[in-house]
Structure 1
Amino acid sequence: MTAEETRQRIVKFVQELLLDEDDKGAITPVLIAEKIDQVLVMKPSWGNELDRAAVTDELIRRFSLWIGEDVTLKSEAGHEPWLNASRKRDWRYWQRYREWLERKLSWKAVAALDKSTDTILGLLEDPVRPGPWDRRGLVVGHVQSGKTGNYTGLITKAADAGYKIIIVLAGMHNNLRAQTQMRLDEGFLGYETSPLREGMRITGVGHIDGDRTIRPNYATHRLDTGDFNSAAARNFGIKPEETPWLFVVKKNKTVLERLHAWIEHHVANTEDTSTRRKMVTNLPLLVIDDEADNASVDTGEQLFDADGRADVEHQPTAINSLIRKILHAFSRSAYVGYTATPFANIFIHERGETAAEGPDLFPSSFIINLAAPSNYVGPAAVFGLSTPEGRVGGLPLFKSVDDYCTEDGTGGWMPQKHRSGHTPLHMGQDTLPPSLVEAIDAFMLACCVRNIRGQGAEHSSMLIHVTRFTAVQKEVHRQVDDHVLRMRQRILRRVAAEELFERIRNLWESDFVTAMNCIREAGIQTEPAGIPSWQQILLALPDVIQDVSVRMINGTSKDALDYADTEGHGLKVIAIGGDKLSRGLTLEGLCVSYFLRASRMYDTLMQMGRWFGYRPGYLDVCRLYTTDDLTRWFGIIADASEELREEFDVMADRGATPREYGLKVQSHPGLMITSRLKMRAAKDLMISFSGETLESVVFHTREDLIRTNVAAARKLLESLGQPDVTDPEIDTPAGKQSWKGGYLWRNAKAADVIQFFNGYSTHSESHKVRSTMISEFIEKMNDVDELTEWTVAVIGGGGGHYSEIPDLAIRMSMRGNTTRYEDGYSIARLLSQRDEMIDTSASVWAAALEKTRNVWKRDPARARPGDPQVPPDMPSGRALREVRGEGAEGIMPSRERGLLILYFLDPNQSGFPFPEGTLPIVAFGVSFPGSKAGKKALYKVNSVEWRQWEQSYGPAE
């Protein structure tokens, strides 16, 4: 048994003893020490070289953990409830997986996984229920939040319940398929799969319960050649009474064709009399689709007639077609997709169906949003939350990179656009840019700290993603490898090392020590209390530099196997990756990431997302090096995803079905952002703004366009006459809310507001706000007598005065510039949370707060670390808009009234180099009440706009 395995067992046993304590809040280091002593009395040899401090830190983290709450949308159509305690009484696959998890996870995390997987399994059908039946669902988790562990738990329970064929669709590349196979070997099978079926080595759950009578069968194995092979499969004899069979396959056309053909010719036990389609009626099927938004979705356009009937002769895309054919071959089947980015899955038409493939993969039965535990590190933790003052509350882990290319983006070490023959040179020299040198130093420091904290036996990784070209990756690999070799020689030989040590020490003292203190001050409980001294770092460096290796990740399973081969003594690897680094591949112990703008923006953003996840005991030494542009775009995507999660919470509270949510998302303005990133051709979107709020955050800097927007605002305000209210204020249950220097008009006509939007010029980089679309939408709502009346507000600020509009003394607002557009001034947020309340009554305020609290869920991934676990004390904008549109008890809906809020931003306080005498920058927020009218506006990304996008970010393919 390795030292790490010993430590895990001690932690597990001590955790069991602590669970017997009545007061879990009184678990202290002293009490933990007593329990460690009790365990060591039973097994004294475990005390040899035991790092008691590391055990104590781990247990304190486990008992300070809290878990968020999952949210579910479901449809009971055709479903028969079945999962109860009696069905779970003798489950052995789940029991051994649970015990295995308890070695590494908090008891709270394991209990939450148990509850979550019970919910998912219960929404599937009872595998022993006579057919036919078909259930399809989607599980949405935060990026790198433990989706694999969730579906492994689901698989163990499904096998216990009686599902006989379990197919896991594991990404597009061998490395992810192999990694998934290895994890299921550990968590489900209990032995290491190989082509030879004799003498297999026990692993994972097999050490807990290795009974051969329950050993599942496998059709694929962990080696590079381990994907499904029809020749080998001919010898498989699958019978209903046998233990379950596991298939872990790539989403690859050839592989899936082989699997489908084998099912038809060797598993099917009957034939459909009307269609002659071969079918399996005696074996229930479970399909798990990992990264379900990638390749599984039919990107072809299926046609529907006037009655909503699908064209049954439609030809879906290859992977989608084959997944559906496999499901369609079983009379009893369940499909569960897992993803962190569900836009594409929700866009699947809920009535899509063909004769050959059967129904499309729309999650008609359920959608579950998984919450995260409090030790999850997500975008809100790293980048903070978006506010009018910029992103606030982020941890000091992000490092801006700007030395990788020349100012025009065409030269330097890694130009924004480069070819496969590019040779990376910095300042004309065959060397790394200073930012990458610093990132590598940061990785060395992270490894040193982890060693000092007793985490040396765990894996530590650094990811470098700077190019999609394999040839250029090789050059980067050579440069990084040479750089690490020179560092190793200097540190070990102590020859000409003074400058190197001084450089690393400066980084340690100016960055790491400061960041460690900031993170502790933020109230994050997962980090050890002590900060190592420089002398401790200096002593740890020689061992670390000897262990670090530099690798290329090219999509082969060998990349995934390295981690398993070094279990117990911790791989320390700098991985050079590109487009072949498939989504979903986990880089164990990822400490430092170095990202530059790659040619395929969306893929890069998703890879950037793998930085998030769990960093127990070493969050404070993690670093993300990337460009300001990538950070800005990731923030935009994260905000759009959060909007959809909020919408999900609201609809779940109403008891809506997945179909209703799908229809809502398909017209959500957030798609105006994601479509720009993912679309490969022109596509029309019909967008609804009902129940939404829009805010302009990117503005023109040309004098003529600034003047155009000021003229549009001035014309509107002059047409409204004297304001109804100056210095608005409202009384709320939480006290008085006031807007000093503001103005309010309550009787504006739709025609005046439409004229304003038609006269206003939005910036081309304003991805979610198009003034012409807004005016078109208002006109369509007027056709059904909605949005006919408007409240117009001007929010006063703390900047200079603008007095060019008669009888109005407008105090300009201040918003700082956040990016470096040459022709644009951009801000983080325009609206503050309370600004939408400016014309709200106390009764509407109270009703909206009640709705806000009803849908509030404790989800740490959606809040800054250290935030208290208390419900909100102010209504959300979404709840306010819902009350205005839907009404509430004692409150009539007011769908005829919209809210337009104008801000005059002070150019002299913007941080952008506007010329002296520049007019105010007119910004607007617009709040639409909820509606059931179903009216939409047309959004189109045409080929010209797409070409402009490619010129900025490189070719799509």
Structure 2
Amino acid sequence: MTMIDQKAFDAVLSMAQKLLLVNAGEAGTAITPAMIEQQLDMLATIMPAQFAVIDREALVDELIRRASQRVGTNATLKDTGDHIDWLNADRKKDWHYWRRYHEYMDTKIPWKALEALDGATDEVLSQLEDPDRQGSWDRRGLVVGHVQSGKTANYTGLICKAADSGYKIIIVLAGLHNNLRSQTQIRLDEGFLGFATLANTDHLPAIGVGLIDTDHSTRPNYATNRSENGDFNKQMAARLGVSPEQRPWLFVVKKNKTVLERLLFWIRNRVANHTDPVTGRKLVTNLPLLIIDDEADHGSVDTGENVVDEFGNPDTEHNPTVLNQLIRSILHHFSRKAYVGYTATPFANIFIHDKGQTEEHGPDLFPSSFITSLAAPSNYIGPGRVFGSTSSTPDNLPLVRQLKEEEYGPWIPQKHKNGFRPTWRGEAQIPDSMAEAIRSFILACAVRKLRGQGTRHSSMLIHVSRFTSVQSEVVTQVGEHLRTLRGRFARGIDLADTEALMREDYLQRFLPGMMRIRDGLTPDEPHSADFTWEEVREVLADVISDIKVREINGSAKDALDYAENEATGLKVIAVGGDKLARGLTLEGLCTSYFLRTARMYDTLMQMGRWFGYRDGYLDCCRLYTTSEMIEWFGHIADAAEELRQEFDNMVAAGATPKQFGLRVRSHSVLTVTSRSKMRNARPMHLTFSGDLLQTIVFLPRKQDVEANFDAGEHLLSSLGSALRPDEQRFLPASGANWKGHFWRDVPAPNVTSFLRAYRTHPASFRVVSPLLADFIDEMNKDGELTDWTVALIGGGEDMASIAGLEVNQMKRGAVQSEPMDRYSIKTLISPRDQAIDLTEAEWRAALSLTQKTWRGDKDRDQDATPPDEPRGGAVRRVLGFGAPEDGVESRRERGLLMLYLLDPAHCKIKELEVGKPILAWAISFPGSPSERRVSNADYMGNSVMWGAMNDWVD
């Protein structure tokens, strides 16, 4: 499309979806393709000029896509102390900045996502204080989203509403680098200011919301601009003054010592209007402040030691780290202020000490007022859908191409030093695996062009080293490879072999991969068109000629100039390190080649630039990475899901952020976040209370499989006669729902003997059989976990026998073929398994809690409609703590051991494919407030948990 065509397309799209919403609302029905066609027929008579220059079929596809999407529900933990409810319909009547931002976003995101954005920003704003409220107040919160899920759009909407409500000074802390700050400024120029904050000019052209609202009298004020060096500077500080009656001021600043010191100096000397008679601290009492802290876990957290003394009281003489103290000092100089951190990786923020406070800097940034967890729209592609998790479906989207060591190691080893020069087959050239990835990117751009997305941005990420010197060498090699391809396709010289390779790649690898990805989509997700090789070949030369290579790091001068290429779409291969690892958005990211081996949850997750929205080209996306990274990201997905489940449970219990005793799963290689950010966290003795543990990694040796099978056979032989599934205490309307056998009231020693005999894989992380046996022994001392239910659960078609019992073998395909020292599966149990042999009251209480905490978040494998069966987390909580409102008492004496036989034919290890089934198991532990632990520091706990934990280890 040309620039004019895109405008026409957006105009028709906006009008069509408004009419569809009205008509569907009046009819009380869902939007259907027939309804879309009917509305477009009517619009075609009203807007003939626009319809003459647009692709109607593409418009229909876009409207169907938007109609099919949904958004889950958010959840908020809050503390209402010293907070007055204030946000109501009357306060929204004269909103101006939000109204135009809403209209601006109308064509950019589906209407359901726009409704969710409206609701989420209202929810956050309502937790802040009324800016018109007099006196002193201080609200501090945290908004937790998903990586690359639209946090910028969320806080832009919040800024618009806060400005409409009366907040006068709005400071956005936008990362640590100039290019990220500039990117954020550009987004806020478009969504809030309405004009391009160009440097060294008096002409500021209208953009974004400014094209909707041409009244310059309502323009907000700005103190920073969109240039790389447009941060708050001495010249601005010297001439800038504000007064209460002025329109709101926007500051977009880096988290940088010099910049924040300059801003703090300006506040003290140019803005403060009052001096505290007791402390002598200069205060701003007439201008309410809102600070938005983007990537709040990065740079803002106090990593200093001794925040509190040995008695848990705040050390008022404590000296926070520089950025933390400057942010806190800015807040401390305002009597009316609100701080909202935004992050997708809240691990570091969880470890902020809730009692941290000093006289000079005020309270620490612990989100004491509220924590809001945002649900992602159904078209969001996050860790759960890319890598799966043990709590979700095993059918994650096949986007990942696993790299073997020999495909990249000789070129750039995992451990290398600054100045290293990568070579492949003795030459300074990229390896074959990267050449394949670049071909994937070229094919993705070609397919997108054929689908009418040629003017949209398309990006490739290459992230293989943290050293800028190595990145520069990679840029040179990638550039040379691309020049060779460009020359061959442009001149037709030496093209035959290259063209044949591209053809084979498309027909044998890329196209089948697209089909497999689309097979993994649900029926409500639109499926895109395919093209013949001849159609793809026709556009290859143009596509290759458009691709640029950019080096994005602290040394290079390259920039991702998406805004300057809005009309034609930027096609870019971005090579970089830290600047690509956090915050910086790669528009239209199709292909990633990723070898970076950071070992921290938050750093790794932020490096996942491939998460986000890929509407219309998801099937073109590919991630090239190592087996180790695949395993780590799968574990991170589990850790993030566990955190969200615990959060949902606490919301259901009406807890406050300070009562939120979070636990974050640890990894044997990964750390939760940097050690410095965890100074307020201590290694804990381990509890498994409230957890589900399941074996998903198995030893590859036949003797180990046979030993484990024998251990299970010995256990089952000792239990006596088995019960049938229809002999459970309660059968739901749908019947038994599982096949197999079970036993009640099994003594704990039978279970612990089995666990001590079972051989778990060293890579099982937390699932260590002897350790679990020790934990059960510890809990037995208090009368907990003494009586067990043991279930032998079948699935699939082929039968097998154990201890004289017939059961169906489960089919669980191997997650990966490398490394060959294990057989790994994605998940073992089915959601209903943990509800085995519950009483009717327990079953219904667990179902009620399941539905109460259901968010409809697709990345968490949650449908729009809550399930009609209880899920495991709710079962474990009800058994551990009861449900007094439902007349259910706790049953902490009851543990559940589930046994499964896996069909060895699917393990991809020849030694095991013929022989005994692979015995797998899962244990469901009820929740418990018990302080009994076993000595293994697999969890890290935040300061909120300290009061209940007296068994810290050094």
Is the TM-score greater than 0.5? yes
- Does 2:890 match 1:893? yes
Q: Which of 392, 395, 400 is 2:394 aligned to?
A: 392
- Does 2:850 match 1:852? yes
Measure how far apart 1:859 and its partner are: 1.8
Q: Which stretch shows the higher mean deviation, 520-529 or 129-138?
A: 520-529
Aligned residue number for residue 12 of structure 2: 10
State how 1:394-543 maps to structure 2 within 5 Å: 394-402=396-404, 405=407, 411-518=409-516, 520-521=518-519, 522-523=521-522, 525=524, 527=526, 529-543=528-542
Read off the aligned partner of 1:675 and give its amino acid letter. Answer: T
Q: Which of 23, 26, 37 is 1:30 aligned to?
A: 37
Unaligned runs of 5+ in 2: 940-954
Instruction: Render the CA deviation track for 1:607-652: whole Å, top value 9, x for unaligned.
Output: 5522121122222222222223212221111122112222222222
Conservation of the 8 A alpha-carbon contact between 1:404 and 1:415: no
Measure how far apart 1:262 and its partner are: 2.3
Aligned residue number for residue 591 of structure 1: 590
**CA 1:112–1:808: 2 relative to 1, 3 Å:** closer
- Does 2:624 match 1:621? no
Conservation of the 8 A alpha-carbon contact between 2:550 and 2:560: no
Read off the aligned partner of 2:613 and give its amino acid letter. Answer: Y
- Superposition RMSD in Å: 3.4
State how 1:860-875 maps to structure 2 within 5 Å: 860-863=858-861, 869-875=864-870
Aligned residue number for residue 671 of structure 2: 675
**CA 1:147–1:766: 2 relative to 1, 3 Å:** same
Instruction: Render the CA deviation track for 1:379-428: whole Å, top value 9, x for unaligned.
Output: 343345648xx96333343222226547xxxx512222222333322333
Aligned residue number for residue 219 of structure 1: 223
- Cα distance in 2 between the residues matched to 1:693 and 1:211: 58
- Does 2:643 match 1:644? yes
Instruction: Render the CA deviation track for 1:793-820: whole Å, top value 9, x for unaligned.
Output: 45567889787x8x88999877554453
Conservation of the 8 A alpha-carbon contact between 1:405 and 1:414: no
Aligned residue number for residue 951 of structure 1: none
TM-score by length of 1: 0.88
Read off the aligned partner of 1:493 and give its amino acid letter. Answer: R
Conservation of the 8 A alpha-carbon contact between 2:719 and 2:746: no
- Cα distance in 1 between the residues matched to 2:652 and 2:216: 46
- Cα distance in 2 between the residues matched to 1:105 and 1:334: 28
**CA 1:688–1:428: 2 relative to 1, 3 Å:** same
Q: Which of 857, 873, 880 is 1:878 aligned to?
A: 873
State how 1:550-949 maps to structure 2 within 5 Å: 550-555=549-554, 562-598=561-597, 600=599, 602=601, 605-661=604-660, 663=661, 665-666=662-663, 668-669=664-665, 675=671, 678-679=674-675, 684-700=683-699, 722=720, 725=723, 730=728, 731-737=730-736, 742-749=741-748, 753=751, 762-771=760-769, 773-775=771-773, 777-778=775-776, 781-782=779-780, 784-795=782-793, 816-819=813-816, 820-821=818-819, 823-863=821-861, 869-888=864-883, 889-902=886-899, 910-912=907-909, 914=911, 923-940=920-937
State how 1:155-194 maps to structure 2 within 5 Å: 155-194=159-198
Read off the aligned partner of 1:584 and give its amino acid letter. Answer: G
Residue 624 of structure 1 aligns to a residue whose secondary structure is: strand
- Cα distance in 2 between the residues matched to 1:323 and 1:938: 39
- Cα distance in 1 between the residues matched to 2:791 and 2:32: 53
Measure how far apart 1:91 and its partner are: 1.3
Conservation of the 8 A alpha-carbon contact between 1:526 and 1:616: no
- Does 2:249 match 1:253? no
- Cα distance in 2 between the residues matched to 1:396 and 1:470: 32
- Cα distance in 1 between the residues matched to 2:170 and 2:775: 47
Conservation of the 8 A alpha-carbon contact between 1:901 and 1:925: yes
Aligned residue number for residue 61 of structure 2: 57
- Cα distance in 1 between the residues matched to 2:254 and 2:377: 30
**CA 1:204–1:233: 2 relative to 1, 3 Å:** same
Measure how far apart 1:219 and its partner are: 1.6
**CA 1:924–1:638: 2 relative to 1, 3 Å:** same
Residue 562 of structure 1 aligns to a residue whose secondary structure is: coil
Measure how far apart 1:673 and its partner are: 8.0
Instruction: Render the CA deviation track for 1:864-911: whole Å, top value 9, x for unaligned.
Output: 8xxx64331321011111221222324322122222335576778643
Conservation of the 8 A alpha-carbon contact between 1:563 and 1:571: yes
Conservation of the 8 A alpha-carbon contact between 1:907 and 1:914: no
Residue 591 of structure 1 aligns to a residue whose secondary structure is: strand
**CA 1:347–1:105: 2 relative to 1, 3 Å:** same
Q: How many residues align?
A: 923
Residue 453 of structure 1 aligns to a residue whose secondary structure is: helix
Residue 110 of structure 1 aligns to a residue whose secondary structure is: helix
Aligned residue number for residue 143 of structure 2: 139
- Cα distance in 2 between the residues matched to 1:471 and 1:440: 21
- Cα distance in 2 between the residues matched to 1:210 and 1:860: 39
Q: Which stretch shows the higher mean deviation, 231-240 or 598-607?
A: 598-607
Q: Which of 107, 110, 115 is 2:111 aligned to?
A: 107
- Cα distance in 1 between the residues matched to 2:734 and 2:526: 38
Unaligned runs of 5+ in 1: 943-957
Q: Which of 320, 326, 332 is 2:324 aligned to?
A: 320
State how 1:304-315 maps to structure 2 within 5 Å: 304=308, 308-315=312-319
- Cα distance in 1 between the residues matched to 2:858 and 2:203: 45
Conservation of the 8 A alpha-carbon contact between 2:388 and 2:637: no
Aligned residue number for residue 19 of structure 1: 21
- Cα distance in 2 between the residues matched to 1:695 and 1:367: 30
**CA 1:938–1:278: 2 relative to 1, 3 Å:** farther
State how 1:308-387 maps to structure 2 within 5 Å: 308-384=312-388, 386=390
TM-score by length of 2: 0.89
Read off the aligned partner of 1:246 and give its amino acid letter. Answer: L
Aligned residue number for residue 953 of structure 1: none
Read off the aligned partner of 1:194 and give its amino acid letter. Answer: L
Conservation of the 8 A alpha-carbon contact between 2:401 and 2:622: yes
- Cα distance in 1 between the residues matched to 2:599 and 2:469: 17
- Cα distance in 1 between the residues matched to 2:815 and 2:468: 34
**CA 1:792–1:313: 2 relative to 1, 3 Å:** farther
Conservation of the 8 A alpha-carbon contact between 2:876 and 2:926: yes
- Cα distance in 2 between the residues matched to 1:295 and 1:776: 40
Measure how far apart 1:332 and its partner are: 1.0
Read off the aligned partner of 1:694 and give its amino acid letter. Answer: L
Q: Which of 288, 296, 303 is 1:284 aligned to?
A: 288
Aligned residue number for residue 239 of structure 1: 243
Measure how far apart 1:659 and its partner are: 2.2
Read off the aligned partner of 1:379 and give its amino acid letter. Answer: P
% identity of equivalent residues: 50
**CA 1:541–1:603: 2 relative to 1, 3 Å:** farther
Conservation of the 8 A alpha-carbon contact between 2:581 and 2:608: no
Conservation of the 8 A alpha-carbon contact between 2:666 and 2:672: no
Residue 574 of structure 2 aligns to a residue whose secondary structure is: strand
- Cα distance in 1 between the residues matched to 2:243 and 2:155: 24
Instruction: Render the CA deviation track for 1:682-710: whole Å, top value 9, x for unaligned.
Output: 95135443222122333455789879877
Residue 454 of structure 1 aligns to a residue whose secondary structure is: helix
- Cα distance in 2 between the residues matched to 1:874 and 1:182: 47
- Cα distance in 1 between the residues matched to 2:343 and 2:119: 19
Conservation of the 8 A alpha-carbon contact between 1:8 and 1:103: yes
Read off the aligned partner of 2:31 and give its amino acid letter. Answer: G
- Cα distance in 1 between the residues matched to 2:310 and 2:568: 64
